Amino acid sequence: VKSNLTRIQIKSLCRLGDIYIPGDESLPSFTELGCVEHYAKILDYMDNSDLIGIHLLLWAFSIMPNKLLRGLVNMIENSQASKSSGASVLRLLRVALRGLIFTLYYSGYSGQGNNKTAPFEVLGFEVSVYVDDLKS
Amino acid sequence: MYDFIIIGSGVSGGRIAHELTSGGAKCALLEAGREFGAKTFPLGEINYMNQLFWRGGLELNADASLCFLRGKCLGGGSVINQALMNRFTPRVFDEWRQLTGVDYFDEKVFSRLYDQLQDEVEMVEIEARYRNRNADIFTSGLDRLGYAWKPLLRSQHDCKLERGSDCIVCLGGCPRDAKQSSLVTTIKWARQKGLEVFPEFRVSQIIEKKGEVKARGAWKGKPHELSAGKVILACGPLGNVPILRRSGFHKKLPSLGKGFYGHPQFIVFGVFKEEINGFKGAFQSVASDDEKFVRSGFKLENNFTPPISAAFLLPGLGAENLNVMKKYRNMACVEIAVKDETPGEIKANGSGGVKIIKPLTETDSGKKKKAFALINEILREEGALRVLESDQGFCLHLMGGCGIGEDGATSVVSPDFLVHGSKNVYIADSSIFPKAPGINPSFTIMALSLKAGREMLRR
């Protein structure tokens, strides 16, 4: 299975991303950040079974009206404590969507068109390990 | 043909490889993941999570309530763990001895093994001056409420904390080889004595035939097979059980896959008015050491998470999640590890992979709730404006599934580390644990593997 997404699937991922991360005055939305350009950093390493699932999900979400998509995301997000029979599928979707969206957004990567401050700068996340003594 | 093939290169595989090659054995070490090093570890959370962990660290149980994290690279879990070295208490060994009838589950036996290992591999406690503000909040809160804590013993060397090193980077592999993973200790030493290493070798099955064992699978994507006198499985429960199942061992071993534990872990965040910068410096340096917690079936550790994990673990989405993330520098964080009572089971899925049955039962969930309430109190006492409990559990300590014992009907591995009914297949990693210890397992996996390696040489 190829890790490339179609334009429709990318658009679908951005729609979902903006529900999870709508942005505000200081932080860009998922789409504004342009982090979606870097999806291959995740998909290139996925097992085939996961990759098939992502392709299908993004295709299915692409034909859903906004209102329905938001409703579904809310249902997914409220599935953690549920003991109903379908809850495990919703929780699986929750992990997949949160995993994909938050990983891209807080990856430190952005797209070429982003004009807002990068999330790491707003968060103040800057870490390093001293290696200067090893260079010689 | 090799004397031994070792499948899996983490704490157990590396240690056994070192013991066997030191004794003159010809060994091959197979690892499903790629080989990285200090200069080549993938940088950044997105890259190391996807390149160093199985399924990006998001392997799930059947009801999708828990994520299971395990390393997929040369050095395995020892490359991506936090190098914590805890000795098991006499209580754990007494319980295990009673459960299994294995007489060397004895504090005196293991004290000697732990001492030998500590002489060989560098282990240190983080000096008080290098503890960060997140650790101070944790210890101050415990002190205030009258609970005991202790510094953590970590297998690391020359981290250059005085030069501003941030240990959180090393969750994706240490760029200065300060973390004493098997990659920079036992595997390195064994290579010097002739160990042959095969990264990117995925073993599909092992086949025993007339005093010889074949490891069959794919090496760098192409079918490959290696032969040896003996094979040692060292890929942890989620690696060992499927290999044994695909090799037909489940037909003779009814306990295969049963008795699986994971110390389910949960994170609690506290948001403070002032900056905490919990991700800076030695981000994990102390843990609870209180008998009341042990009796209640959990332990607490000062910890912190990089941004992707923080956003993923924080409850909520949209503005709710974003507004808390903007307070990332002001967050403190405490981790709970539950000593799970209810065992899970590793089964086969339709495609030769694993199906993890590990629900969080009411008993174990009750422990989590008790710990949540306590952390709430600690963080509020210390001035937290908000306390946020993560509802996403995860397991890093994967144990059991190939339990040790005398009887092949109720266990998988015999006390001499041979799989019941086999003369050529050994296991000595965390998958032989008969029950969750409630203590970080790495040091004891190392000790068991040291003992097993010597036993294999003696034979």
B353 vs A contacts (CB less than 8 Å):
49
Rounded to an integer, what distance in angstroms lies between the CA atom of residue B315 and that of residue B336? 16
3-state secondary structure of A64: coil
Q: What is the structure's pLDDT at B394?
A: 97
Mean pLDDT for A112-131 is 91
B266 vs A contacts (CB less than 8 Å):
none
Contact present, A49 and A57 (Cβ < 8 Å): no
User: Å from B66 to nearest chain A CA?
Assistant: 10
Sorted by sequence, the CB contacts under 8 Å of residue B245 that are 6+ apart come out as B256, B257, B348
Q: What is the structure's pLDDT at A116?
A: 83
User: Å from B371 to nearest chain A CA?
Assistant: 18
Chain B window 130-169: which residues touch A at a Cβ cutoff of 8 Å?
159-160, 163-169
Mean pLDDT for A87-112 is 96
User: Å from B415 to nearest chain A CA?
Assistant: 36
Rounded to an integer, what distance in angstroms lies between the CA atom of residue B74 and that of residue B327? 36
Report DSSP state, residue A4: P
A96 vs B contacts (CB less than 8 Å):
58
Chain B residue nearest residue A103, CA to CA: B308
User: Å from A33 to nearest chain B CA?
Assistant: 14
B50/A120 CB distance under 8 A: no
B306 vs A contacts (CB less than 8 Å):
125, 127
User: Å from B409 to nearest chain A CA?
Assistant: 33
Q: Which of B38, B168, B317 sits opposite A19 (nearest CB)?
A: B317
Q: Does the pLDDT value for residue A81 go beyond 90?
A: no
Q: What is the structure's pLDDT at A85?
A: 79
- Touching check for B389 and chain A: CB below 8 Å? no
A128/B56 CB distance under 8 A: no
Mean pLDDT for A59-78 is 95
B307/A133 CB distance under 8 A: no
A87/B316 CB distance under 8 A: no
User: Does the ipTM exceed 0.85?
Assistant: yes
Q: Which of B49, B163, B169 sits opposite A127 (nearest CB)?
A: B169
Share of chain A above pLDDT 90, in %: 85
Q: What is the structure's pLDDT at B349?
A: 86
Chain B window 261-300: which residues touch A at a Cβ cutoff of 8 Å?
275, 277, 279-280
**How many C-beta neighbours within 10 Å does residue B84 have?**
18
- Touching check for B203 and chain A: CB below 8 Å? no
B329/A124 CB distance under 8 A: yes
B46/A107 CB distance under 8 A: yes
B176/A130 CB distance under 8 A: yes
B312 vs A contacts (CB less than 8 Å):
98-99, 102-103
Contact present, B16 and B428 (Cβ < 8 Å): yes
User: Å from B203 to nearest chain A CA?
Assistant: 16
Q: Which of A20, A96, A108 sits opposite B318 (nearest CB)?
A: A20
- Touching check for B319 and chain A: CB below 8 Å? yes
Q: Does the pLDDT value for residue A1 go beyond 90?
A: no
Q: Which residue of B65, B166, B266, B331 is the best one to mutate when testing the A interface, meaning the one whose CB has the most A CBs within 10 A?
A: B65
Joined tokens for residue A17: 């991303």
Q: Which residue of A130, A132, A136 is the best one to mutate when testing the B interface, meaning the one whose CB has the most B CBs within 10 A?
A: A130
A109 vs B contacts (CB less than 8 Å):
46
User: For chain B, what is the HEC assignment?
Assistant: CEEEEEECCCHHHHHHHHHHHHCCCCEEEEECCECCCCCCCCCCHHHHHHHHEHHHHCEECCCCCEEECCECECCCHHHHCCCECCCCCHHHHHHHHHHHCCCCCCHHHHHHHHHHHHHHCCCEECCHHHECHHHHHHHHHHHHHCCCEEECEECECCCCHHHCCCHHHHHHCCCCCCECCCCCCHHHHHHHCCCEEEECEEEEEEEEECCEEEEEEEECCEEEEEEEEEEEECCCHHHHHHHHHHCCHHHCCCCCCEEEECCCEEEEEEECCCCCCCCCCECCCEEECCHHHHHHCEEEEECCCCHHHHHHHCCCCCHHHHHHHCCHHHEEEEEEEECCCCCEEEEECCCCCEEEECCCCHHHHHHHHHHHHHHHHHHHHCCCCEEEECCCEEECCCEECCCECCCCCCCCECCCCEECCCCCEEECCHHHCCCCCCCCCHHHHHHHHHHHHHHHHHC
- Touching check for B34 and chain A: CB below 8 Å? no
Mean pLDDT for A21-42 is 96
- Touching check for B73 and chain A: CB below 8 Å? no
A19 vs B contacts (CB less than 8 Å):
317-318
A50/B322 CB distance under 8 A: no
Give how far Cα B247 sits from Cα of B8, B227, B252, B409, Å. 17, 15, 11, 18
B322/A21 CB distance under 8 A: yes
Contact present, B449 and B432 (Cβ < 8 Å): no
Q: Which residue of A83, A127, A134, A136 is the best one to mutate when testing the B interface, meaning the one whose CB has the most B CBs within 10 A?
A: A127
A99/B312 CB distance under 8 A: yes
Q: Which of B55, B307, B391 sits opposite A80 (nearest CB)?
A: B391
Contact present, B281 and B342 (Cβ < 8 Å): no
Q: How many contacts, defined by CB atoms under 8 Å, are there between A and B? A: 144
pLDDT in tens, chain B (459 residues): 999 999 999 999 999 999 999 999 999 999 999 999 999 999 999 999 999 999 999 999 999 999 999 999 999 999 999 999 999 999 999 999 999 999 999 999 999 999 999 999 999 999 999 999 999 999 999 999 999 999 999 999 999 999 999 999 999 999 999 999 999 999 999 999 999 999 999 999 999 998 899 999 999 999 999 999 999 999 999 999 999 999 999 999 999 999 999 999 999 999 999 999 999 999 999 999 999 999 999 999 999 999 999 999 999 999 999 999 999 999 999 999 999 999 999 998 877 789 999 999 999 999 999 999 999 999 999 999 999 999 999 999 999 999 999 999 999 999 999 999 999 999 999 999 999 999 999 999 999 999 999 999 998
Q: What is the structure's pLDDT at B73?
A: 98
Q: Which of A26, A98, A104 sits opposite B326 (nearest CB)?
A: A26
